Chain A
Amino acid sequence: GIQVEQSPPDLILQEGANSTLRCNFSDSVNNLQWFHQNPWGQLINLFYIPSGTKQNGRLSATTVATERYSLLYISSSQTTDSGVYFCAVGRGAQKLVFGQGTRLTINP
């Protein structure tokens, strides 16, 4: 099956800093999504981005499907950005496979 690797596993930053999270995957996919799990455990879908670039406020994501990676950018970090960020990949209607996540801590 498809393998998903996220890096770094942990990231600690000061408020206002920028960050880049990476998701590598082992096979071709046509479904890639980014999620944020907040400290209360709620999972929020950030982006559906099988290819190209999308932006939503301070967050943006880029997927280069031919090179099998995706990047999530967070600019001007706020404490509310803390939590775990997951990417998930899949093909067509098949199941989504999740990475292990990146734990982001934003200190005030």
Chain B
Amino acid sequence: NAGVTQTPKFQVLKTGQSMTLQCAQDMNHEYMSWYRQDPGMGLRLIHYSVGAGITDQGEVPNGYNVSRSTTEDFPLRLLSAAPSQTSVYFCASRGGAGEKLFFGSGTQLSVL
């Protein structure tokens, strides 16, 4: 099993550009989420989903959109990139409320 797969690993954008960070898991997990990690800070939740067709906002949702059309995929869209969105982004998934959370390898995003 591949686990949680994120692409790309690195990305550089110009201010105002849009892009989609891809996340896929092959563990049939219902719960998926996106976090961002900034230097010296913990992980902050952007958006999460408890199943296909269901999404909700986390702590820092502004500037990001998500959708969950399948159990496997949970893409994160940056609508109009800003320098404040320079960060490392992690996708994570778990099978249910009482199960371990597994992370992808991260995407390092720089917005110039």
B89 to chain A, nearest CB (A): 11
Is the beta-carbon distance between B98 and A86 smaller than 8 angstroms?
no
Q: Does A59 contact B (CB under 8 A)?
A: no
Is the beta-carbon distance between B48 and A95 smaller than 8 angstroms?
yes
Which of A12-20, A61-69, A70-78, A98-106 contacts the other chain? A98-106
Is the beta-carbon distance between B58 and A95 smaller than 8 angstroms?
yes
User: Which chain B residue has the least Cβ–Cβ distance from A31?
Assistant: B97
Interface size class of B (residues with CB under 8 A): 20 to 34
Decide: A95 near B101, CB < 8 A? Known: A41-B88, A86-B43, A100-B42.
no
Within 8 A of A (CB), among B24-71: 31, 33, 35, 41-45, 48, 50, 58-59
Is the beta-carbon distance between B43 and A45 smaller than 8 angstroms?
no
A→B interface (CB under 8 Å): 1, 4, 30-31, 33, 35, 41-45, 48, 50, 86, 88, 92-93, 95-101
The 7 A-B pairs with the shortest beta carbon distances in the complex, nearest first, are A43-B103, A98-B42, A93-B97, A98-B43, A100-B42, A45-B100, A48-B100
